[in-house]
C-alpha cells in the first residue's frame, strides 16, 4: 500500500527517534534499517527538505531529527516522500461521472481512513509503544550472545 520509499523514510525516522539528539552518518542509518546506502541518502534528503530531519556536516556530523518525534506524525513522514493518493475524479476519465462512482467512493473512503490513522500516530508513539519487539532491532542475536556468555 505504501511506496517502498515511504517505508524506508518511516524506518529512518523511527530509528533516528531512538537517539534524537545524536547525529548518525547515512552509512550507519542504511545498515541499521536495512536499506541500500545510496537509496537511504535519497530518502534522508527528502526528509531534510520536509524539515523532519536535519543534516549536520563535519567529521561528527550526520543526520538527526530536526523536530521532536512527538510532533512528527507518520503522515508527515509519508507525505515528505509523496502525497498519499486520493481519488478526486473518475480514474477512467468517464465524462458522465461528475462525482465518484460507488466503487471509487469506497476506495477513496478507505484511503481517507488510512490518512486519518497516519495523522493520529506520531513517530514517538511508535518508538515508545510497549512491546517485546523493539522497532528495527533484532534482539535474537543479542539473546544468543548472552546465552553463550553464561558459564556452564
The pLDDT tens digits for 118-138 are 999 999 999 998 877 767 666
Shared domain for 11 and 65, answered yes or no, is: yes
pLDDT digits (tens, 9 = 90+) for 2-44: 789 999 999 999 999 999 889 999 999 999 999 999 899 999 9
pLDDT, position 65: 96
Q: How far is CA 41 from the centre of its chain?
A: 14
Is the separation of the CB atoms in 6 and 81 below 8 Å?
yes
Domain residues for the domain of 16 are: 4-83+122-149
Distance from C-alpha of 10 to C-alpha of 4, rounded to nearest angstrom:
10
- Three-class secondary structure of residue 25 per DSSP: coil
% of the chain exceeding 70 in pLDDT: 87
- Assess whether pLDDT exceeds 50 at residue 145: no
Distance from C-alpha of 97 to C-alpha of 76, rounded to nearest angstrom:
32
Shared domain for 32 and 98, answered yes or no, is: no
Distance from C-alpha of 15 to C-alpha of 65, rounded to nearest angstrom:
10
Shared domain for 61 and 127, answered yes or no, is: yes
Shared domain for 34 and 54, answered yes or no, is: yes
Shared domain for 36 and 103, answered yes or no, is: no
pLDDT digits (tens, 9 = 90+) for 60-96: 889 999 999 999 999 999 999 998 888 888 888 778 8
Amino acid at each position: 500500500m505504501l511506496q517502498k520509499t515511504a517505508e524506508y523514510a518511516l524506518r529512518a525516522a523511527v530509528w533516528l527517534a531512538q537517539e534524537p539528539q545524536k547525529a548518525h552518518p547515512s552509512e550507519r542509518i542504511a545498515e541499521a534499517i536495512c536499506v541500500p546506502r545510496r537509496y537511504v541518502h535519497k530518502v534522508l534528503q527528502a526528509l531534510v527538505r520536509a524539515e523532519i530531519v536535519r543534516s549536520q556536516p563535519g567529521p561528527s556530523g550526520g543526520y538527526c531529527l530536526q523536530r521532536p518525534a512527538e510532533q512528527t506524525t507518520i503522515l508527515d513522514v509519508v507525505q515528505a516522500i509523496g502525497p498519499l493518493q486520493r481519488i478526486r475524479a473518475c480514474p477512467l476519465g468517464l465524462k458522465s461521472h461528475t462525482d465518484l462512482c460507488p466503487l471509487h467512493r469506497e476506495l477513496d473512503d478507505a484511503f481517507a481512513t488510512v490518512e486519518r490513522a497516519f495523522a493520529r500516530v506520531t513517530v514517538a508513539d511508535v518508538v515508545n509503544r510497549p512491546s517485546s519487539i523493539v522497532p528495527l532491532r533484532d534482539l535474537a542475536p543479542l539473546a544468543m550472545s548472552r546465552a553463550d556468555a553464561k558459564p556452564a
